Amino acid sequence: MSKRPIIEPFRIKSVEPIRASTREERQKLIETAGYNLFLVPSDAILIDLLTDSGTSAMSTEQWAAMMRGDESYAGSPSFARFRNSVQSIFGFKHVIPTHQGRAAERILFSVMCKRGDIVPNNTHFDTTRANCEFVGAQAVDLPVPEAKQPSLNHPFKGNMDTARLAELIEREGAKRVPLVMLTVTNNSGGGQPVSMANIRAVKGICKKHGIPLYIDACRFAENAYFIKLREPGYARKTPREIAQELFSYGDGCTMSAKKDGLANIGGFLCTNDDSIAQQEKDLLILTEGFPTYGGLAGRDLEAIAVGLNEALEEDYLQYRIASTAFLGNHISAEGVPIVQPPGGHAIYLDARAFLPHIPTSQFPGVALANELFLEGGIRSVEIGSLMFGEHAQMDLVRLAIPRRVYTQSHIEYVVEVILDVWRRRDTIPGYDLVHQAAFLRHFTARLKPRGIRA
């Protein structure tokens, strides 16, 4: 292996200034926001790691393609280019554009599920679970046991527990399971990949019972690259070839183009089933739009068509995975507790282990996220007791890395800020809730730190 550093495989053509603030300014901002980072204006943030969704920087080729966007209502050549690009990677017969991943989920579950059905997944993403439950079906998570131990290192912690899948289908009957889903990478499970062997095994069980397998494909390119790096037999295959094999085991997929589509908006739904596709297109027309644009502008379709291919470029994936791992490995080497190993799109800090003096009732994840903002203007997101209430299994702080946006020196800055907070972790206070909404309270909650800061 060459000792030369992995560099950003791009140069910068258009820059967006970010502004440093003083600690006093940040203290004022967060007080005004009720100590909820969702309520802080984004232009007051120095490094924004709230999400990797829709925050990618587009390439010169994507911007050029957007100028070719054809905005015709029906039969636009932009749709043909979009469909060809999706099919060359995903291989599915029908490609249905939607405005986001969740619109694809809503249509899929409306067509395929009814009350009383069961949908197994390695781990449902929150919108996937909500859309599944909205049609009266039960969303069941079947992660491997390794997924529940943050500090445990395992190459494919995103895998589904195939023994539990087989047992569930046999116990409940295949008739109650209209589809099985696999989320690659497993976002809610720490951005951890699923192995090709696991996908094959899940497909084998589905096939035996005549159940279709759908892939939640949001981070398919990152998952393909992890397979290349970690699974025997794939080192010499390209990420594109690996992705093609991965999708060959699926009967369809849902996709948010805001992730590995390298676009700022968009998604799609695919299936090989003609009759299902027809029903899905009928529903699409009702709320999203005609099947050749699905709620997107022609220029959005063009940006996705190019972005899907760029997301599979090996030098991009190498830089992306290395950059995320750099952050995780450097803070972990100093003792900071993180979900191991570093995921594809994000690093998750284990806030309960980071702040053992703060009980879960005082939101250790919120306390840590707020401290990263106060210390260095970094925005992250709590995934824990504020988001899930008493159902929270862990209190995590997610640092999601937008694609092609931040450079190595930005990541080094984030490492230093986290380490500064780590060194004075004993002084960090817990929080009390002052106001909460009836559902999805984490978006609008207002909180107050306990006691007086040292």
Ligand X SMILES: *Cc1c(COP(=O)(O)O)cnc(C)c1O
- Distance, CA of 325 to CA of 196 (rounded, Å): 22
- Distance, CA of 363 to CA of 351 (rounded, Å): 9
CB of residue 11 to ligand X, shortest distance in Å: 29
Among 69, 101, 190, 430, binds ligand X (CB under 6 A): 101
Choose one: 94-102, 229-237, 245-253, 325-333; the region binding ligand X (CB under 6 A): 94-102
128 vs 159, beta carbon nearer ligand X: 128
54 vs 91, beta carbon nearer ligand X: 54
Encoded one letter per residue, x for contact with ligand X by CB under 6 A and - for no contact, window 172-201 reads -----------x---x--------------
Residue with tokens 């060959």: 248
Task: Tell me whether residue 50 is exposed, middle or buried, using C-beta atoms within 10 angstroms of its C-beta: 0 to 12, 13 to 18, 19 or more.
Answer: buried
CB of residue 213 to ligand X, shortest distance in Å: 16
Choose one: 13-21, 67-75, 97-105, 323-331; the region binding ligand X (CB under 6 A): 97-105
26 vs 404, beta carbon nearer ligand X: 404
Encoded one letter per residue, x for contact with ligand X by CB under 6 A and - for no contact, window 248-277 reads --------x-xx-------x----------
Find the binding residues for ligand X in span 354-413 (CB under 6 A): none
180 vs 355, beta carbon nearer ligand X: 180
324 binds ligand X (CB under 6 A): no
3 state DSSP class of 440? coil
- Distance, CA of 153 to CA of 166 (rounded, Å): 26
269 vs 368, beta carbon nearer ligand X: 269
216 binds ligand X (CB under 6 A): yes
CB of residue 396 to ligand X, shortest distance in Å: 15
The percent helix, strand, coil of the chain (3-state, each to 5) is 45, 15, 40
- The angle subtended at Cα 33 by Cα 29 and Cα 35, nearest 5°, is 95
Choose one: 123-131, 195-203, 317-325, 356-364; the region binding ligand X (CB under 6 A): 123-131
Find the binding residues for ligand X in span 9-68 (CB under 6 A): 53
Among 102, 157, 203, 299, binds ligand X (CB under 6 A): 102
Encoding tokens for residue 359? 């009980």
Q: For residue 253, what is the enclosing H or E element?
A: strand 252-256
Asked if 141 and 175 touch (Cβ cutoff 8 Å), the reply is no
133 binds ligand X (CB under 6 A): no
195 vs 370, beta carbon nearer ligand X: 195
Residues 6 or more apart whose Cβ sits within 8 Å of residue 204: none
Q: Which residues pair with 141 in a beta bridge?
A: 121
Which pairs from 227-231 meet CB under 8 Å and 24+ separation? 227/193, 227/195, 227/196, 229/321, 230/155, 230/156, 230/193, 230/195, 231/155, 231/156, 231/195, 231/196, 231/197
Angle between helices 314-333 and 408-423 (to 10 degrees): 20
# residues contacting ligand X (CB under 6 A): 15
Among 79, 82, 92, 125, binds ligand X (CB under 6 A): 125
**Which chain residues interact with ligand X by CB under 6 A?**
53, 100-102, 125, 127-128, 183, 187, 216, 218, 256, 258-259, 267
